[in-house]
Amino acid sequence: MEYSIYDRILGGLVGAGTGDAMGAATEARTTEQIREYFGHLVTDFETPPMDTFGAGNKPGQFTDDFSSAFFLAKSIVDNQGVVDQKAVQKALINWSEHTVFFDRFAGPTTRLAIRRFKGEEIGETKGVQLVTRQATNGSAMRISPIGLLNPGNLDQTIADAITVTMITHDNYLALSGACAVACAVSRAVMEDADVYNVLQAALYGAAEGERIGLEIARDVAGPSVLRRLELAIKIGLGHGSPEEKMREIGDRVGTGLHVSEAIPAAIGFFAANGGDALGSIIGAVNVGYDTDTVATMAGAIAGAFQGATAYPEHFLPTMESVNGLDIRGLAVQITEIAKKRMKGGC
Amino acid sequence: MRQTLSRYDRVLGCLLGAAVGDAMGAATETMSTRQIEKRFGGRVCDFQTPPDDVLARGRKAGQITDAFSIPYILTKQLINSEGKASRHLGEAALLE
């Protein structure tokens, strides 16, 4: 099929949205609990069970992951593609006023950051200090549009991903994770993308994010995103079926809230499924734990790699109508900016 | 092995090792290796006073936290019940 940058960009958005909506139904469960509850692996939109965060959501409805990515992307395209502190803060405040996404789902680090730049004084309590000291996955989960806006330009992708991440997650591990995802998406959206150069871009992003992060951001305790990513890629490209690799990634890399679990796992699922648009998401959705976030990132990369046409036809219209968000309209706007940048060669 | 250790010595060693780990770790909790080396001028190999920005702030060097105090109380309860573990005993230990 002929290369279409629009289809790839739309694919990145559909993949991320699909991962979020599918994962909302499996979040916090184990693979066994998922199979027991649904009677099969989850491969389509399902109604989230009543005992999980997504309870009350309809099939296809988003949580914080893709909804915050959507608002971030919208604010940046309205700012002519320029990523600055004001555009990011505006996006997050706007998003936080949509209670359907924010009130029930916003994570600890993001919630605190939004309160801070809305002008609230945050007391230095024990709990707050501890929360902000954990390197969590909340910036990487919404970073994929940065890669879509900068096709093939990894250094601009890293610069923009850092601007976005420093506003909510100012530690070096969060920067490493966000740059890894953004760079993978930036490479995946190109015509000559293959599984290997997308994985190389992810490793480059993780290394650069870590290096720059140690200079400009807070140091923080925790395992290295880069080293875990090497492990996840080794599992992903190793032998075994996608389902065997799913278990290996879940058991050895981990699929939890920590940035050094969720980001390497997401990229590992892309590798384990040969970049397959839906397979990468299905792995992340059924591995258990923080499935919606891992699947959002895996879907963003795999969707940008294979394009929107790789997904079942009902996914996009279902997500647009259930969430009331114009995903195609956003893809058109991102494509305009991405095309200009590719021609300009900047 | 230099010599055969007595059962008592092994038991004491286990308790001592756990308590030492807790007290030494109280000074480095939540920090990265880089931050620990910077703060203490190298690796921590003895009891240190916990810095002001960790959970154990205000404690003395060698003072334990929840990590050893809970097993200490639990062990005392177990001794009182002649070593029989039960859910009730576990709960009582945590309440104390």
Task: Tell me the per-residue pLDDT of B43-87, one tens digit each, with 9 for 90 and over.
Answer: 999 999 999 988 889 999 999 998 999 999 999 999 999 989 888
Using one digit for the tens of pLDDT, what is the confidence trace for B8-43? 999 999 999 999 999 999 999 999 999 999 999 999
**pLDDT at residue A127, as a whole number:** 45
- Beta carbons of A265 and A284 less than 8 angstroms apart: yes
pLDDT higher than 80, residue A121: no
Q: Which amino acid is at A71?
A: F
Q: Which of B29, B31, B32 is most worth mutating to test chain A (most A CB atoms within 10 A of its CB)?
A: B32
Domain boundaries, chain A: 5-44+58-344
CB atoms inside a 10 Å sphere around CB A94: 14
Predicted pLDDT of residue B2: 64
Residues A201-219 have a mean pLDDT of 97
Residue linked to tokens 């993949």: A15
- Out of A84-88, A102-106, A113-117, A124-128, the most confident range is A84-88
Q: How far is A174 from chain B (nearest CA, A)?
A: 14
Give the number of other CB atoms < 10 A from CB of residue A86.
11
A126–B30 C-beta distance less than 8 A: no
Q: Are A286 and A34 in contact (CB under 8 A)?
A: yes
Q: Taking the C-alpha atoms of A297, A299, A304 and A305 in order, what is their torsion angle to the nearest 10 degrees?
A: 110
Q: What is the pLDDT of residue B95?
A: 86
Of the pLDDT bands very low, low, confident and very high (cuts 50, 70, 90), residue A71 is: very high
pLDDT given for residue B38 in this prediction:
95
Residue A194 has pLDDT above 80, yes or no: yes
Q: Do A205 and A154 meet the contact criterion of CB atoms below 8 Å apart?
A: yes
- pLDDT class of B88 with cuts at 50, 70, 90: confident
pLDDT at residue number A133? 65
Which tokens hold the place of B84?
Answer: 């029989």
> What's the whole-model pTM score?
0.92
DSSP state of A253: I
CB contacts under 8 A, B 3-32 vs A, are 30-32
Contact B32 A133 (CB under 8 A): no
In eight-state DSSP terms, residue A136 is B
pLDDT at A346 over 50: no
| Residue A156 to chain B, least CA–CA distance (Å) | 29
Instruction: Find all residues with CB under 8 Å of B17, minimum gap 6, and list them.
Output: none
Q: What is the 3-state secondary structure (H, E, C) of B23-84?
A: HHHHCCCCCCHHHHHHHHCCCCCCCCCCCCCCCCCCCCCCCCCHHHHHHHHHHHHHHHCCCC
Tracing tokens 């289809």 back to the chain, one arrives at A7
- With CA atoms as reference, the chain B residue closest to A130 would be B30
Torsion of CA A107, A110, A116, A121, to 10 degrees: 30
For residue B77, give the H/E element and its range. Answer: helix B66-80
Instruction: Supply the pLDDT for residue A344.
Output: 67
Cα A42 from Cα A23, distance rounded (Å):
9
Chain segment A301-315, per-residue pLDDT in tens: 999 999 999 999 999
CATH homologous superfamily for A5-44+58-344? ADP-ribosylation/Crystallin J1 (1.10.4080.10)
Percent of chain A topping pLDDT 70: 96
Query: Cβ B32–A222 below 8 Å, yes or no?
Result: yes
Question: Rounded to a whole number, what is the distance in Å from the CA of A163 to chain B's nearest CA?
Answer: 24
Segment A137-162, tens digit of pLDDT: 889 999 999 999 999 999 999 999 99
Asked casually if ipTM beats, i.e. exceeds, 0.85, the reply is no
Q: Where are the alpha helices (DSSP H) in chain A?
A: 5-23, 31-38, 64-78, 85-96, 99-105, 108-117, 126-133, 144-149, 154-168, 172-188, 195-216, 225-237, 242-248, 259-272, 277-286, 291-306, 315-323, 327-344
- Residue A122 reports pLDDT greater than 90: no
How far apart, in whole angstroms, are the C-alpha atoms of residue B45 and residue B37?
11
